[in-house]
Structure 1
Amino acid sequence: MEIPKTYDPKQAEEQHYARWEKEGCFAPEINRDPSAPVFSIVIPPPNVTGSLHMGHALQHTLMDVMTRHKRMLGYRTLWLPGEDHAGISTQVVVERELRKEKLSRHDLGRERFVERVWQWKEQYGSQIIQQMRREGASVDWSRQRFTMDEGLSRAVREVFVRLYEEGLIYRGDYIVNWCPNEQTALSDLEVDKESQHGKLYYLQYPLRANGRTGNEHITVATTRPETMLGDTAVAVNPTDERYRDLIGGTLLLPLTD
């Protein structure tokens, strides 16, 4: 028998992992002791918008170590796998693909667009699953979930209703991050802030004659000079000696007075 000069881990890993799956080694039912303590972890589901990266590998390794350790100690263990639909991120990616076909989500309608999202999930979710198998993750694939599954969607709606009925959440009027392309509101976590160089304008508001002499004025700095037409008052720091004697005076509004 010829012994290879180098060790190829891929062949051995795939062989052992396939055997573990076939024998149900990762299911809690492999421990037949009904009185055994239970240890369960729900995986923070990776987004279907991409593939796993180094951060996922680190996180999965730590969770796998804990799960395998508890399993060896006699616990009925469950490490629950799944993927996340990623909300707006997935919608943006799917719509980008639609634009290549000269279509929009409005052309498809809600039901057909959701079907396209599911197609995307099947394509890229399977890639994530294969990556986790290559990691050797001891998750119970028979319980794999997706955050758009009917059961999970129903659970989310139920929780929101309960929280609303208990007065813990409410609807109100707030400033939101509006996306003109997607025509929807975005959470703060979904907004990438970008620093830009702007201009700071200095406006001189003349003082109305009030027993004072000379061309006196107050200088106001603003990034939005066009709002000057709506100004109704100027506030000063009452403890600042430069402006203390101006309190109660009257200013002229440039361009209109």
Structure 2
Amino acid sequence: MSQSQKNFCFCTLALGKKYRLLTQQLAKDLEKNAPGTFLVIYTDEPKDFSQQSNTIAEKYRQTGILFCYHDKRFVLEKALSEFPVAIQIDADTRILKSVPDVLPFAGIVGRQENLVEHVKKYNPERLKAIKKVALKLNVPLETAPYVGESLCFVGRDNGKEKEFIKYWGMIGRYLELRGIHSGDGIAIGLAAAKVGWTINSDNWETFRKISQHLDASHELKTDNWFHNSQRRLSYHYRLNLARLMALKNFEFYYR
């Protein structure tokens, strides 16, 4: 690591042309407002970032059944293999002001709410599945957090970060197999609780003030998404593959 290179990085998914263009803009923002930091990207077209020296772009194909929300954990894992701290940031985010340094820490930083209260407010029909997966993991649901997924920080913690990513994947897949394809903040919060992390919001609040989340995903309508025959085929392929893979842990996913 050179003297000018920071000991933290940003990471994001950039799947599809719209998100690659948004990520290119994010990389430019970081070049201007966070010199010395890298943006680690998992994308379907790494060559689109070959001209930007502050990016580390790798080829990636979606594994999420319907959407790719939980796939964020893979690029986070890659980022933490390279840097002590990784800032997971959605591609549809602008960084508008100078980014302060982030000192190494262990655990997770992000916006948090009480998970049950959040789900009751926005998606109460999900509570049954969430209660069941929390029980399977022996996580007290009444105190579990919901973590805002569009911007959160994870620092290496003697291997706990690997356990966190593992549980995020397990929880995300459990929910997907029950038709819950969005709201990865639920899985992030439950996974953090499982490994014993307490959510800190200090750095998140600082970054919130210098960033703007555009929320481009709200433009996507599921009905229109399914009108594309290739997408339908890909969806059914991933669904059937997920069902087969889940049989390896039948007790967790199907009991």
TM-score, normalised to structure 1, is: 0.22
**Which protein has the bigger strand share?**
2
Q: Indicate the structure (1 or 2) with the bigger Cα radius of gyration.
A: 1
TM-score, normalised to structure 2, is: 0.22
